[in-house]
């Protein structure tokens, strides 16, 4: 079977006519027969598309041909199946829902994966801060990362009080592919944090260059994959909620009214068939 190439990208830039851009890009993606999800807003674009390697190369070239996106960065992953079943290009108020209204003018300094690896290698004094939601960090995170209890990114401002103790420390924040850290780092800077850095291209960029090093566990994804391995030797850092053995496998309960996200190993899932409980299993078998 032909491998599927996935490309993730974002750029914060004031778009003059997001409506027109969205319409044209949707048409282009459909014509090229790409699958994926791209959000377009006044503040920029953020998306993931998938196809064969040739289609992805063509798409990336197309996006780079716009003056606004000539320096956009693509993060690729190889997958067995498409992360999205359809092709969505949607107009939104924000390219990542934050609702805390921060401008991305003064953002954290971008560190490359090489920079971050060096900090670890040298055992430098720094705080590695996970800007993602609690359930994402549960199955995978950077070594020694400070994680946050939030369920939604819009609640990130609530974590600042707990982070005050790191105000004068060197902070390196990260998220999946970088788009959330632009806003989260701007927020920390606006709140007087002194040395705020962010991992360029996020976890996806880091594990492409340094798999099986300082990122431990699996990387959560907001698409049909739910998570991806972060190397050839990915350890499970979470526990199956049924049998309590190590697992990094999330399921979304098949009962649409429940839709609970829970960690369940493949063995247990054979019995539970993508449902969380007897109640949901009975319901979804009828
Ligand atoms: Zn289990
Ligand atoms: Zn359920």
Domains located in the chain, CATH noted:
4-91 (3.30.70.100), 109-217 (3.40.250.10), 236-285 (no CATH)
Distance CA 235, CA 217 (A): 5
| pLDDT for position 1 | 64
| pLDDT for position 119 | 98
Query: Counting Cβ atoms within 10 Å, is residue 83 exposed (0-12), middle (13-18) or buried (19+)?
Result: buried
| pLDDT for position 109 | 98
**Which ligand is nearest the CA of 280, by number?**
2
Distance CA 48, CA 153 (A): 19
Query: Ligand 2 centre and the CA of 130: distance in Å?
Result: 28
| pLDDT for position 162 | 96
Distance CA 26, CA 4 (A): 20
Q: Average pLDDT of each block of 10 consecutive residues along the chain (286 residues)?
A: 90 96 98 97 97 97 97 93 95 93 93 98 98 98 97 96 97 97 97 98 97 97 93 94 96 94 96 96 81
**Which ligand is nearest the CA of 261, by number?**
2
| pLDDT for position 286 | 57
Query: Ligand 1 centre and the CA of 150: distance in Å?
Result: 26
Instruction: Show which residues are catalytic.
Output: 175
First-to-last CA distance in the chain? 34
Radius of gyration, CA atoms only, the chain: 19
| pLDDT for position 99 | 87
Q: What is the pTM of this model?
A: 0.93
Query: Ligand 2 centre and the CA of 41: distance in Å?
Result: 34
């Amino acid at each position: 079977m032909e491998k599927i190439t996935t490309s993730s990208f974002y750029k914060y830039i004031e778009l003059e006519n997001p409506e027109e851009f969205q319409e044209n890009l949707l048409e282009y993606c459909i014509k090229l027969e790409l699958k994926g999800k791209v959000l377009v807003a006044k503040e920029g674009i953020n998306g993931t598309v998938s196809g064969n390697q040739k289609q992805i190369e063509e798409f990336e070239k197309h996006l780079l041909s716009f003056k606004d996106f000539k320096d956009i960065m693509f993060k690729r992953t190889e997958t067995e199946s498409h992360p999205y079943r359809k092709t969505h290009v949607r107009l939104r108020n924000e390219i990542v829902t934050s609702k805390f209204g921060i401008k991305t003018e003064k953002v954290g300094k971008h560190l490359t994966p090489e920079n971050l690896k060096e900090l670890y290698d040298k055992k430098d004094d720094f705080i590695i801060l996970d800007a993602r939601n609690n359930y994402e960090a549960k199955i995978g995170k950077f070594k020694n990362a400070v994680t946050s209890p939030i369920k939604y990114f819009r609640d990130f401002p609530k974590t600042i009080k707990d982070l005050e103790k790191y105000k004068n420390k060197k902070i390196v924040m990260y998220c999946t592919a970088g788009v959330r850290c632009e806003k989260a780092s701007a927020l920390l800077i606006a709140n007087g944090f002194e040395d705020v850095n962010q991992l360029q291209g996020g976890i996806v960029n880091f594990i492409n260059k340094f798999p099986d090093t300082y990122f431990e566990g699996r990387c959560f994804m907001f698409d049909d994959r739910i998570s991806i391995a972060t190397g050839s030797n990915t350890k499970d850092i979470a526990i199956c909620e049924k049998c309590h053995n190590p697992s990094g496998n999330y399921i979304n309960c098949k009962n649409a009214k429940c839709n609970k996200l829970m960690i369940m190993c493949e063995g247990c899932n054979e019995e539970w068939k993508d449902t969380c409980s007897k109640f949901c299993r009975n319901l979804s078998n009828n």
